[in-house]
Structure 1
């Protein structure tokens, strides 16, 4: 008897499929992307009565019509060999609509188990099911579950074990679309059978006949079925002439008619229907006056929760890596392999710490997002913002990641997985780096108080954020008209009932995203941090313009700590100028001079590739004045003496519009499955940043706006 099985978990969005997947597999999950598309793949494993089961969680779809990347992925997965059983999860509260997908799955003649989920909600609505009648109609066993409750899948496990032992005995569905369509399907199926296509021998020819009559894009592209296209067109013309309707619409109508009959016979409801609590809540949450302010309040609370909870942990991680670095330095003598010692402490440990310090932010942010998704509010947020976002070529679901981008671009890009449309998701990912993330804040905090009067500081800060938002929305409109152009897509804005999220589901969601961040973004950032370490430290300068060691020793003898620190930073600045980064900065200075940058600003921009915060520390070293952070008054004084307010504004503008960090490019490559798109994003943002800054600097210089030194 077979002991290993592959099961596909299929169903509509918001049917509770993820809860059931999590309940069955627990932490034994793998998350990734399907090759070539930005659709999440998730698989897990578990053992049931000694049987090893691989469970594939398919993307949520409403049909197998290949009208979206998700539908195409589900189609490809279910038509490949090796699927032993389909577990079709159905929302019991809306069976007629949920069973539409079931009629298409049944055509595959793959053994199927129907899971009527949310049965508790259905009971509250007064719904009663004649399970034997439904089982006879679809030729499949049925089990009722409450996937969101602990123990709510116990009956499913029992039924699953029973079903797997009787796969050869599964019934055949009683699906008939009417005499005319059935005859047309038989004619096309006979032609397909005559071809003897080996690749799809395990799938009934009738299934492909249905798809061809529906003008399904996936099947239509298959060269194996090219010889039957003439018969398909003949049957389509015949049906159109007889019924004056396209076959895809005709088939959909017949499916719904068939489901109406089945549901009328097997599903009943009491006359007393209690008004859903969800409906009463939505009177306020989706109100045209209150919906938007409440959405902003919830997003604010999401940020507050994320940063309030994450801040202490980030401090502990920072301190932990600092202690680790100090411990290595104390154990490892400076004279023994100094380059390797510095590489480990300043490269590897600093690089890993630079990534993991943001891990609490990632975890708590996605914990909060999971609450919004599992509770049903995320669908309301999309509904509330849909009208506004469509004016810029996006949909309501794009707004949440854009807002999250003000915190950190990396988790914001990861949050675009809630967007069903591939074009909208790609567009949102491409414009997200224009949101002014928290990494840019130290730059603004350094420059704004130094160059702008107190009464203008809030306005300048608001303006720089606004510029990013406006350019992002304009860019989205342009991309939807060019790069990601396509016919307007109609989205079914489903508002599922509010539910209480389970802690298990929330923790698994947070674990998945945290693991993905550490494994993918962390590894690439570590590599780039090591590369930048070599660029910032090599070649090492042996001869300096003065004897810094003697000067520092003299200052220390005189107990002049400030002078000693200034001398040490002066040596670091001279060393930096001699390194690869410093030389590149000098080489690129003529190119950056038209936007108001000298070699020092150019060098700082190179260092900021790893993370925008590095820009401030780089300037601190190059100007050899005190501590390298935004609170460093001597650094501000140096900037005031060397740059004009116009140049200062251009610094902020360039940092706003260029790539936030290398982790952003790593995540873009990850989410879009393409280094080409990541590199195109980096190049496009650089060109945009340069051109906009060039126009602002040259126009400001021409008009004499902010061109005088104030220090």
Structure 2
């Protein structure tokens, strides 16, 4: 049978892993190796994908990927290959002085010692969602956002150690192996191989060492000084488990430090060890995890012979290319294309290397990729058996299982998701957000009156008075008054991410998204897009398929970002009765989603033909949101919004006021219609006339909205004032709805377009600008035609 044929609660052993290429390699790296116990936990509400338990953690797979795994030994009990616990007390872990007592663990090269106070560089490496960013914040004092979703870190981040200012730490994207499966894996691997940091801090999830140590073994092959940080040790202790640190350290040959990054436990000791090994250039003593066996038929023995034969032959090429020999040998056996290219193997020698892989495969009975993965996991399983006291089922996992009965249940998952998103939008636009916005408007009005009175009392020049009040204060103040709405939205989105619910949404929505050509993982960037398009576009880096990444980037602008909230609030407040305002607001978001779905279907059948990326994703346990993390995210987004208000919008307000005050000869304009701004607006206004809002002031506001969407509001405020009656002279309720439709869909801000260019190239950035404008105009025109046909004006 294959894995997809199992029923929830059933378990079996993997017999063969089929497939080819990067997907198969990724499945092996995630621990799905031959003779491994796998339990099917549940199926998604729509039957696909499935959730399985393997090597102590939970993973999602589509049925297509599950069919690649042939199973045997069907049963409903715990598998025998799960290591038994060694029930004895943990030995207390010594401090930094252990280096003096155990010098044999390390290779000390005095010629490469780093003098005291000299600059040092560290790479922070680990699996996705293991607490890397939390540790980075503790080490550097940085304020990076921390989320409970695989792939939160989508770019490298640098910072100085608080305790050692001469040391720089680089937080790299979370990866599962050093294989070129996804962009973040390539980014991390290239950094380690090309930048050559002085030390590596490898952080692992102590609650699931069996999977996390797979990456550790690969990193050790690089021969870079490193320390192993066992994170979440507090959870291990609380759940009745223990890890024998000294035995683990002696076997691996590197310092092993128990920490809790979230509680700031063990961080000082970790820093001391990291600085020590880097300064003294103490490389890992053990990089050979395929110790020879007395049994010549043992698959591990065959791998041992193959690796060492390959290492012996490629030594000159590896040294010339600057690659660690053992790392290069294992990657060459795996037929890693990037390493093969870097080694520059002469064509006449390639058959020799291929023959070594073939012989190893014949002797081990496994293909090269499976044989290497099996070798590593065999070592790790034995190591875990000797060093880990297995904890009881954790409180976090129990809680997650209970919550998932409803949050990912067959009949409850989608209704609950819709209810949660509906609650967030209602609270943002008609509840807490609206209440706080009213308070902010009162504060802004009071400050404006105070400034106006002060300028009048000081008898300031009327032109300067008009610039400050009608230009700067009204333009910036109008936008600032919407800050509470944006803060409220980010508050709820941050909670969703911190709890781990975002990963469940990806699991639940995968089959629906696949129908429009996307993977379930795309749901996270799209949901983030409701907050801001810039981080949403950057979050697409967690998608391993270039096709999915580019397609998701093009769909992100359809998710109405928070910068458009001031526009919606202004127009809806002026033209719609209070009892319908929330309905209109939510309808705009639904319209954006529907347009995005239609556009995705077009892209899937034209520009991006092909299958979406495989859905292989770890499901983290639910966690109680960190108040510090939520506050940090809200503060960062609020600060960014305020900075934008006092930079881009400040400058735009001055420019708009100037263009409105003067004519083409730079003389004071007799009337607004004779101003420079009117000339520019009249040149563009005919484009919008078929949509029902051909006034030059509206056209001008739309143009300024290209810089930042909030600027559209400040422009209208500068041009027509804050009087609702003046605004109502530009639109009817119907044309206001058409205008909202256009602003919902047209090109995102300059910052978002710049991010598109950086992530997918200049051609895609231009394509985004043109297509979004065209789609916005066409949809608004259709709305206008339909409304006119049924008698709306």
TM range (shorter): 0.7 to 0.9
CA distance in 1, matches of 2:153, 2:386: 41
Partner of 1:658: 746
The one of 683, 693, 697 equivalent to 1:587 is 683
Cα offset, 1:214, TM superposition: 2.2
The one of 752, 767, 791 equivalent to 1:680 is 767
Matched, 1:578 2:674: yes
Mapping 1:59-138, distance limit 5 Å: 59-138=173-252
Change (3 A) 1:138 1:620: closer
Partner of 2:325: 205
Change (3 A) 1:208 1:598: same
**Contact 2:153/2:174, CA 8 A, preserved across alignment:** no
CA distance in 2, matches of 1:477, 1:318: 45
The one of 35, 38, 46 equivalent to 2:161 is 46
Cα offset, 1:513, TM superposition: 4.5
TM-score, normalized by length of structure 2? 0.70
**Contact 1:317/1:353, CA 8 A, preserved across alignment:** no
TM-score, normalized by length of structure 1? 0.77
Matched, 1:605 2:702: yes
Task: Please give the per-residue CA displacement for 1:543-587, whole angstroms capped at 9, x wherever unaligned.
Answer: 99xxxxxxxxxxxxxxxxxxxxxxxxxxx9x73332333223333
Q: Secondary structure at the match of 2:617?
A: coil
Cα offset, 1:113, TM superposition: 1.0
The one of 557, 572, 591 equivalent to 1:445 is 572
Cα offset, 1:471, TM superposition: 0.9
**Contact 1:30/1:42, CA 8 A, preserved across alignment:** no
**Contact 2:528/2:535, CA 8 A, preserved across alignment:** yes
Partner of 1:195: 317
Structure 2, unaligned runs of 5 or more: 1-114, 147-151, 292-299
Mapping 1:74-473, distance limit 5 Å: 74-151=188-265, 153-160=267-274, 162-164=276-278, 166-168=280-282, 170-176=284-290, 178-195=300-317, 200-201=321-322, 203-222=323-342, 224=344, 229-240=350-361, 245-269=366-390, 276-300=398-422, 302=424, 304=427, 307=433, 311=437, 314-315=440-441, 318-319=444-445, 322=448, 326=452, 329-330=455-456, 335=461, 338=463, 365-399=489-523, 402-403=526-527, 409-410=532-533, 413=536, 416=539, 420-421=543-544, 423=546, 424=548, 426-436=550-560, 437-442=564-569, 445=572, 449=576, 464-473=588-597
**Contact 1:309/1:364, CA 8 A, preserved across alignment:** no
Q: Secondary structure at the match of 1:174?
A: coil
CA distance in 2, matches of 1:277, 1:30: 24
Matched, 1:16 2:16: no
Q: Secondary structure at the match of 2:228?
A: strand
CA distance in 2, matches of 1:458, 1:61: 42
CA distance in 1, matches of 2:537, 2:474: 24
Partner of 2:36: none
Cα offset, 1:238, TM superposition: 4.1
**Contact 2:199/2:274, CA 8 A, preserved across alignment:** no
Change (3 A) 1:22 1:649: closer
Q: Secondary structure at the match of 2:203?
A: strand
CA distance in 1, matches of 2:237, 2:533: 42
CA distance in 2, matches of 1:219, 1:653: 51
Partner of 1:26: 141
Matched, 1:692 2:788: no
RMSD: 4.5
Change (3 A) 1:609 1:55: closer
**Contact 2:122/2:167, CA 8 A, preserved across alignment:** yes
CA distance in 2, matches of 1:223, 1:431: 40
Change (3 A) 1:446 1:55: closer
Q: Secondary structure at the match of 1:61?
A: coil
Change (3 A) 1:132 1:315: same
The one of 474, 484, 488 equivalent to 2:612 is 488
CA distance in 2, matches of 1:516, 1:616: 18
CA distance in 1, matches of 2:368, 2:254: 27
Change (3 A) 1:273 1:361: closer
**Contact 1:352/1:522, CA 8 A, preserved across alignment:** yes
Partner of 1:562: none
Cα offset, 1:297, TM superposition: 4.3
Q: Secondary structure at the match of 2:618?
A: coil
CA distance in 1, matches of 2:582, 2:632: 41
**Contact 1:149/1:502, CA 8 A, preserved across alignment:** no
Change (3 A) 1:295 1:12: same
Change (3 A) 1:473 1:189: same
Change (3 A) 1:147 1:224: same
CA distance in 2, matches of 1:693, 1:442: 19
Mapping 1:492-511, distance limit 5 Å: 492-511=616-635
Task: Please give the per-residue CA displacement for 1:246-297, whole angstroms capped at 9, x wherever unaligned.
Answer: 4223322222222222222322426888873332233233223333343344
Cα offset, 1:99, TM superposition: 0.9
Change (3 A) 1:419 1:580: farther
CA distance in 1, matches of 2:736, 2:161: 58
**Contact 2:332/2:339, CA 8 A, preserved across alignment:** yes
**Contact 2:653/2:718, CA 8 A, preserved across alignment:** no
CA distance in 1, matches of 2:124, 2:450: 45
Cα offset, 1:342, TM superposition: 6.0
Structure 1, unaligned runs of 5 or more: 32-36, 545-571
Cα offset, 1:60, TM superposition: 1.1
**Contact 1:137/1:174, CA 8 A, preserved across alignment:** no
Higher relative contact order (CA 8 A, sep 6+): 2
**Contact 2:742/2:777, CA 8 A, preserved across alignment:** yes
Q: Secondary structure at the match of 2:169?
A: strand
**Contact 1:30/1:44, CA 8 A, preserved across alignment:** no
Cα offset, 1:359, TM superposition: 5.3
Q: Secondary structure at the match of 1:683?
A: helix
Change (3 A) 1:308 1:411: farther
Partner of 1:552: none
Change (3 A) 1:522 1:63: farther
CA distance in 2, matches of 1:522, 1:666: 20
CA distance in 2, matches of 1:384, 1:12: 23
CA distance in 2, matches of 1:522, 1:189: 60
The one of 653, 659, 663 equivalent to 1:539 is 663
Cα offset, 1:22, TM superposition: 1.7
Cα offset, 1:124, TM superposition: 4.1
Cα offset, 1:104, TM superposition: 1.0
Partner of 2:791: 706
Task: Please give the per-residue CA displacement for 1:599-652, whole angstroms capped at 9, x wherever unaligned.
Answer: 445445335445667767877888x7xx655x43x7546745xx9x5x665434
CA distance in 2, matches of 1:477, 1:77: 37
Cα offset, 1:699, TM superposition: 7.3
**Contact 1:612/1:660, CA 8 A, preserved across alignment:** yes
**Contact 1:42/1:58, CA 8 A, preserved across alignment:** yes
CA distance in 2, matches of 1:618, 1:188: 68
**Contact 1:292/1:384, CA 8 A, preserved across alignment:** yes
